[in-house]
Structure 1
């Protein structure tokens, strides 16, 4: 199911589709051990460092055409990419999607991730007639040892629903329990 690319503004941030010109900013993020470990994916991690950004971008630039809402989180004044929020598996289960996110090291500590995640959720819950996706439930997970991700999810209104044992698998085969969080359209913001 193709999604219509969207643009969402919140505070000094803009959420917009990724473009090829974002490669340099994505390369900086893909150089961060935490972004690589928690969100880049094994295909990107296995790619030589100098090609990771293009590898990561190749499936994100056309993500909207494949049914994923892939937002670059950018500074509204400079259009510099600060992070990413993605809704994947949109409507694989009716009225639901799965969320993933990351923020570049230089943008951390300013609430960028939580504000972008909240804005994405609000947009996703907006009825389709008003430009949103009309979804009811968004879920996300993170390894328990990734405590920063837990703080972001909680600040953005994603309630903790439980622990998934040995869910997150590292490239070396190591496993971590993961928290499952979710936010419903009916939840109070």
Structure 2
């Protein structure tokens, strides 16, 4: 099979050539490429030359590994590579990588879409399905796959192998008849500013605050599902798993930070977002050192306001926001009431507490139409 040329707006996918070798070397010595892919380490000019001159042509001859250079449509400069690893039953696995200098511009999304169109076309490869995989944590790769319409099927333990080690991996699929657009939202985490707190994205540096807060006896009592004992690994896992909720279109999570020190003083989430019903539920905990300062009330109001803003104006455009608290958790109930929520009902013995007992769960709700801009 001969390599193809695929024009794609600002880029073109074309066969590799010798003057791409320096660009391949630049791409594959980049720390991000080294961290997330299986390229040799250290990566040398000899590796780049062997890839361009031997590995890529052999893949096309054998119809097993079809790699195309991603190039600037005007200058024809090498920007990266997209490849398809074919199986013998109408399927393939896609791989891709870019030079650092052109990341974040949508270049790879454009290139992968063009390759997919060719791969599924009857005049192209006429494939039935293309799979994508990446190590857990490689969010740029996952975002490209999401933008191209891949459905992430889940996380597989030990899926990816790199340099003799196994890593957990995501796997996604796209069939020939699927839309080439995202099937679910990927929620951004906007910074929401108040007088008592700033709601921002979680960072790994928030681990000590999360550890202290979630080891606190009060937090442990009311949040019965928390690990016991609560460890550094649990805190880091919580922080890093928040992006999974954003990427899956399930919710948005914020660290509440002190406006002066930026120290994490709480965790707030808008969970179980349902665009069909226009609803979501607020959940939270507050660091013991920050309780009684009005942080939870202000943070809850900020989230409700964000939920009420129409999507076209940067909000979520939700219709209804709910909040639940155990009957004995009067502090949390006061937060709901001060934030404008109305008591809506009680679920009997519905909340398992940290000591293994069950408490009634009080439900609150607020219609966003009631929110004053």
TM-score in terms of structure 1 length: 0.90
Who is 1:71 aligned against? 254
Match in the other structure for 2:208? 24
Hey, what does 2:283 align to over in structure 1? 100
1:138 to 317, 321, 346: 321
SS in 1 for 2:274: coil
The secondary structure found in structure 2 opposite 1:76 is: coil
Q: What is the aligned length?
A: 187
Matched, 1:162 2:349: no
Q: Using the alignment, how far apart are the partners of 1:37 and 1:66 within structure 2? A: 29
Deviation at 1:92, TM superposition (A): 6.0
**Compared with structure 1, are the counterparts of its residues 177 and 136 closer, same or farther at alpha carbon in structure 2 (3 Å cutoff)?**
same
Aligned counterparts of 2:305 and 2:269: Cα–Cα separation in 1: 13
Please give the alpha-carbon distance, in whole angstroms, between the structure 2 residues aligned to 1:184 and 1:71.
22
Equivalents in 1 of 2:368, 2:232: separation in Å? 40
The residue aligned with 2:145 is none
Query: 1:56 is matched with which residue: 238, 250, 253?
Result: 238
Counterpart of 2:165?
Answer: none
Q: Deviation per CA, 1:51-104, whole angstroms, max 9, x where unpaired?
A: 331233232244322221101110122111111110111116521001101111
Distance 1:13 1:154 in 2: 19
Is contact 1:19–1:61 with CA below 8 Å preserved after alignment? no
CA RMSD of aligned residues (A): 1.8
CA-CA distance at 1:187 after TM superposition? 2.1
2:187 is the alignment partner of 1:3: yes
For 2:310 and 2:269, how far apart are their aligned partners in 1? Answer: 18
For residues 113-149 of structure 1, what are the alpha-carbon distances to aligned partners after superposition, in whole Å with 9 as ceiling and x for unaligned? 0000011111111111111100010111111011111
Q: What residue ranges of structure 2 are gaps of 5+ in the alignment?
A: 1-184
Indicate conservation of the 8 Å contact 1:143/1:178, yes or no: yes
**Separation of aligned partners in 2, 1:109 and 1:48:** 24
CA distance in 2, matches of 1:23, 1:176: 30
2: distance between equivalents of 1:109 and 1:171? 22
- Matched-pair contact (CA < 8 Å) for 2:320–2:365: yes
> CA 1:99/1:92 → structure 2, altered by over 3 Å: closer, same or farther?
same
Higher relative contact order (CA 8 A, sep 6+): 1
Q: Is the 8 A contact 2:256 2:265 kept in 1?
A: yes
**TM-score using structure 2 length:** 0.47
Higher Cα radius of gyration: 2
CA contact (8 A) 1:30 1:52 kept: no
Tell me: CA distance 1:45–1:16, structure 2 relative to 1, closer, same or farther (3 Å). same
1: CA distance, partners of 2:321 / 2:259: 26
